[in-house]
């Protein structure tokens, strides 16, 4: 009988990487600004850690170490069939480390690889080359240590228990509002402290957000959300950007996340004086005749929510339309209710990314559920990639919201609040976000002058 002993995983080791001359120049420029770059690799079957470290050479023929970066696998392949990796958190060496400076521990010419000849540095050699670079460039020692530590940190929410699902929805909700406000979502979400998941009462406990203590601003937001925001059990935070743009988030954490059945995000766009309600639903991987894909099984609770929204929309439409005094009041649709059907797990996505999924307005979802396409035998009605061909992706929803083209005015607020309160009675939790200072470019900013 064969003795099946557990094979120990070898110690981590990274890469010494370069690219063709034209490409490496573009990568270097992107790493300088905006601070990250992406590249495709020719083999899909290489085994990658969630985070990798790579020494980069900007002068391939000289085998110098010019920079050190983190790399992560990106979601999808862009239709090319190639593996896509994102490089970020760069450390630039003002004076490159030459191969002769570390030749006693690192044969640079033998270790250099490209996107087509990927190979790891031997694991026994890896810590030696790290220490050699630190020895030659002692001013970078702390930054290299921090990069090594960052690679080892848990960088995603994992698991499918109720608490993780709710934290994931909250993280996505904040990410969406940051994108709508044109704030730096990637940097804010990338620095989440996932070691605090067990004790977290909301996603705000995982993020480096500025606590919101100014009572006058809190009272201002309470006026915007009228009776839905109270001081009891509310946690508030602010995320600031360029100029006067900011996002203020208010979360109630009186109810344990383990018991919450879903997240409702109510956004107030201060510049447009409009409201958007986004309700989260979890899809699951479901097999059909063509393979496994993501879908949501329609349940009685969804129909209850749709009925409550029907009543609200009917009531809003009976109210007199205010006279428009500004272009900021213009809308393509005054639809305020949206559903985001989310993939519950996405192994290749980073936690600075939004959750992949389908976003549909209340009215379009109603129309879809009346189509034969919505019925998937033998399970019942489903909403998913295989049968719902038209929907808003994250970028499309963000752009419409950012430009103020969707959302209802204050006439509908009372009715929106009724939908939220109904959701709370059904076990859902609400998040409230104020976006102040539009991230949309004005015509003046885009204006081109004729010479």
- Locate 218 and state its tokens: 């809190």
Q: What residues does 69 pair with on adjacent strands?
A: 54
* 3 is a domain residue: no
- Tokens 């020895």 belong to which residue? 135
Residue 1: the pLDDT is 44
pLDDT band of 154, cuts 50, 70, 90:
low
Residues 73 and 178 in one domain: no
Residues 358 and 236 in one domain: yes
Q: What residues does 36 pair with on adjacent strands?
A: 88
pLDDT band of 348, cuts 50, 70, 90:
very low
* 399 is a domain residue: yes
Residues 134 and 187 in one domain: no
- Render pLDDT for 200-239 as a digit per residue (tens, 0 to 9): 899 999 888 888 888 888 888 888 888 788 877 788 999 9
- Render pLDDT for 389-439 as a digit per residue (tens, 0 to 9): 999 999 999 999 999 999 988 877 878 888 888 888 889 999 999 999 876
Average pLDDT, the chain: 85
Residues 292 and 325 in one domain: yes
pLDDT band of 279, cuts 50, 70, 90:
very high
Q: 223 CB contacts (<8 Å, ≥6 apart)?
A: none
* 307 is a domain residue: yes
Residues 171 and 140 in one domain: no
* 318 is a domain residue: yes
Residue 79: the pLDDT is 46
Average pLDDT for 58-67: 93
Residue 418: the pLDDT is 85
How many domains does the chain fold into?
Answer: 2
Choose between 422 and 106: higher pLDDT: 106
Residue 21: the pLDDT is 83
- The answer to whether the CB of 424 falls within 8 A of the CB of 255 is no
Average pLDDT for 22-38: 89
Q: Which of 50-54, 137-141, 248-252 has the lowest mean pLDDT?
A: 50-54
Residues 350 and 211 in one domain: yes
pLDDT band of 2, cuts 50, 70, 90:
very low
Domain boundary among 122, 152, 182: 152
**Cα–Cα distance between 252 and 234 in angstroms, integer?**
4
- Render pLDDT for 280-295 as a digit per residue (tens, 0 to 9): 999 988 766 666 789 9
**Cα–Cα distance between 173 and 41 in angstroms, integer?**
32
Residues 104 and 253 in one domain: no
* 5 is a domain residue: no
Residues 147 and 274 in one domain: no
Residue 103: the pLDDT is 95
Residues 34 and 94 in one domain: yes
Residue 143: the pLDDT is 95
Nearest to 67 by CA among 81, 57, 53, 52: 57
- Tokens 């104020």 belong to which residue? 434
Choose between 254 and 382: higher pLDDT: 382
Residues 270 and 171 in one domain: yes
Residue 347: the pLDDT is 44
- What residues make up the domain containing 258? 162-445
Domain boundary among 92, 117, 152: 152
Average pLDDT for 54-59: 95
Report percent pLDDT > 70 for the chain: 88
* 430 is a domain residue: yes
Burial-class residue 52 by CB neighbours within 10 Å (0-12, 13-18, 19+): buried
**Cα–Cα distance between 134 and 97 in angstroms, integer?**
10
Domain boundary among 152, 170, 193: 152
* 198 is a domain residue: yes
Residue 338: the pLDDT is 96
* 451 is a domain residue: no
The CATH number that applies at residue 100 is 3.10.590
SS3 sequence of the chain: CCCCCCCCCCCCCCEEECCCHHHHHHHHHHHHCCCEEEEEECCCCCCCCCEEEEEECCCHHHCCEEEEEEEEECCCCCCCCCEEEEEEEEEEEEEEECHHHCCCCCCHHHHEECCCCCCCCCCCCHHHHHHHHHHHCHHHHHHHHHHHHHHHCCCCCCCCCHHHHHHHHHHHHHHHHHHHCCCCHHHHHHCCCHHHCCCCCCHHHCCCCEECCCHHHHHHHHHHCHHHCCCCCEEEEEEECCCCCEEEEEEECCCCHHHCCCEEEEEEECCCCEEEEEEEEEEEEEEECCEEEEEEECCHHHHHHHHHHHHHHHHHHHCCCCCCCCHHHCCCECCCEEEEEEECCCCCCCCCCCCCEEEEEHHHHHHHHCCHHHEECCCEEEEECCCCCCCECHHHHHHHHHCCCECECHHHHHHHHHHHHHHHHCCCEEEEEEEECCCCCCHHHHCCCCC
Question: Is the model's pLDDT at 349 over the cut of 80?
Answer: no
Residue 102: the pLDDT is 96
Residues 311 and 338 in one domain: yes
Residues 209 and 85 in one domain: no
Residue 33: the pLDDT is 86
């Amino acid at each position: 009988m064969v003795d099946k002993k557990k094979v120990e995983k070898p110690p981590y080791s990274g890469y010494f990487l370069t690219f063709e001359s034209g490409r490496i120049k573009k990568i270097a420029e992107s790493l300088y600004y905006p601070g990250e770059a992406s590249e495709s690799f020719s083999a899909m079957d290489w085994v990658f850690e969630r985070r990798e470290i790579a020494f980069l050479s900007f002068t391939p023929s000289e085998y110098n170490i010019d920079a050190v970066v983190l790399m992560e696998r990106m979601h999808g392949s862009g239709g090319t069939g190639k593996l896509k990796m994102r490089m970020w958190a760069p450390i630039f060496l003002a004076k490159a480390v030459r191969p002769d400076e570390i030749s006693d521990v690192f044969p640079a010419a033998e270790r250099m690889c490209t996107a087509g000849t990927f190979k790891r540095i031997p694991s026994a050699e890896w810590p030696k080359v790290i220490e050699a670079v630190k020895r030659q460039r002692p001013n970078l020692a702390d930054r290299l240590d921090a990069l090594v530590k960052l690679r080892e940190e848990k960088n995603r929410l994992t698991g499918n228990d109720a608490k993780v699902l709710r934290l994931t929805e909250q993280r996505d909700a904040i990410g969406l509002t940051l994108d709508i406000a044109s704030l730096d979502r990637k940097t804010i979400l990338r620095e989440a402290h996932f070691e605090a998941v067990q004790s977290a009462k909301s996603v705000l406990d995982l993020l480096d957000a500025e606590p919101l203590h100014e009572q006058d601003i809190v009272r201002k937001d309470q006026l915007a959300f009228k009776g839905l925001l109270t001081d009891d059990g509310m946690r508030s935070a602010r995320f600031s950007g360029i100029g006067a743009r900011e996002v203020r988030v208010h979360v109630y954490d009186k109810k344990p996340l383990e018991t919450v059945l879903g997240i409702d995000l109510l956004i107030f766009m201060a510049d447009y004086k409009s409201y958007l309600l986004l309700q989260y639903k979890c899809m699951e991987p479901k097999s059909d005749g063509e393979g496994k894909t993501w879908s949501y099984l329609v349940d009685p609770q969804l129909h209850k929510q749709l009925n409550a929204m029907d009543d609200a929309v009917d009531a809003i439409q009976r109210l007199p339309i205010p006279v428009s005094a500004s272009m900021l009041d213009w809308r393509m649709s005054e639809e305020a209710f949206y559903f985001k059907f989310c993939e519950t797990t996405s192994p290749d996505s980073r936690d600075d990314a939004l959750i992949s999924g389908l976003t549909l307005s209340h009215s379009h979802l109603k129309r879809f559920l009346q189509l034969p396409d919505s019925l998937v035998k033998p399970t019942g009605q489903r909403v998913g990639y295989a049968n719902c061909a038209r929907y808003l992706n994250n970028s499309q929803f963000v752009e419409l919201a950012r430009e103020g083209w969707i959302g209802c005015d204050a006439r509908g607020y009372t009715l929106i609040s009724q939908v939220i309160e109904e959701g709370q009675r059904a076990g859902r939790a609400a998040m409230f976000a104020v976006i102040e200072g539009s991230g949309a470019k004005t015509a003046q900013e885009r204006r081109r002058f004729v010479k």
